[in-house]
Amino acid sequence: MQQIARHWGVNGLVAGVDEAGRGPLVGPVMAAAVILDDFKPIVGLADSKKLTALKRERLFDEIRAKALCFSVAQASVQEIETLNILQATMLAMRRAVEGLRLAPKLVLVDGNRLPALPMRCEAIVKGDSLVAAISAASILAKVSRDRWCAEFDQQFPVYGFAQHKGYGTAQHLQALREHGACAQHRKTFRPVTEVLAQAAGSGTI
């Protein structure tokens, strides 16, 4: 972390930020912010999408145990539908940073967009593969989002959320056609809108 701070010309703590859940058709978008501890290195940090579920789970616990501080936040389906998914993602990221126990001097964000924050922020394309703190944030956000899907699947097992994590798979779209949308479906997302419109036109919902 100190090396990263020197690279960016910053004297102080550096936080990594990433999100999970922009693409799915259901549930909140989640974001995490992590400030790593130089004296407690974590081996194996990488883009969460390139890790197995088992590896993510192990690193999730290790990050929470070893990081100087971390925060996971979300923006709700209602906020996604009101603001749009990009702005809701920025909101979740801002909440994650604001939830940190320690205030960073620099925030490094995966991607090419930045949330509105009072401290210096830098966007890094593919940052989840390049910066350890962003990798850690991507893992916290991904595992938190996957756990949400698993819990919600218990309430609405007909949709298969635990399997597809809310993405627009054939199984998910078929369940939408047969059962309509639940309260956590993002009704402003085109696949959901189209399936519900087709179902309404055919009189099935």
- String of DSSP letters for 1-34: -HHHHHHTT--S-EEEEEEE-SS-SBS-EEEEEE
**What's the CA gap between 191 and 116, in Å, rounded?**
30
The reported pTM is 0.94
Single out the residue of 26, 15, 54, 21 nearest to residue 145, CA to CA.
Answer: 21
Q: pLDDT, tens digit, for every residue of 20-45?
A: 999 999 999 999 999 999 999 999 99
Q: pLDDT, tens digit, for every residue of 75-94?
A: 999 999 999 999 999 999 99
- Choosing among 1.10.3730.10, 3.30.565.10, 3.30.930.10, 3.30.420.10, the CATH entry for 2-154 is 3.30.420.10
The neighbouring-strand residues paired with 30 are 20, 74
Q: pLDDT, tens digit, for every residue of 129-157?
A: 999 999 999 999 999 999 999 999 999 99
Write the DSSP string, 33-53: EEE--TTS--TT---GGGS-H
Domain ranges across the chain: 2-154, 156-198
Please provide residue 56's backbone torsions phi and psi, each rounded to the nearest 5 degrees. -60, -45
Q: Write down the pLDDT at residue 10.
A: 84
10 Å Cβ neighbour count for 66? 15
Label residue 9 by pLDDT band (50, 70, 90): confident
Q: pLDDT, tens digit, for every residue of 106-136?
A: 999 999 999 999 999 999 999 999 999 999 9
Report how far apart, in Å, the C-alpha atoms of 83 and of each of 91, 99, 159 are: 9, 21, 26
**What's the CA gap between 190 and 51, in Å, rounded?**
29
| Dihedral sign from CA coordinates of 37, 41, 42, 46 | positive
Per-residue pLDDT for 7 more than 80?
no
Write the DSSP string, 181-193: --TTB-TTSHHHH
Per-residue pLDDT for 203 more than 80?
no
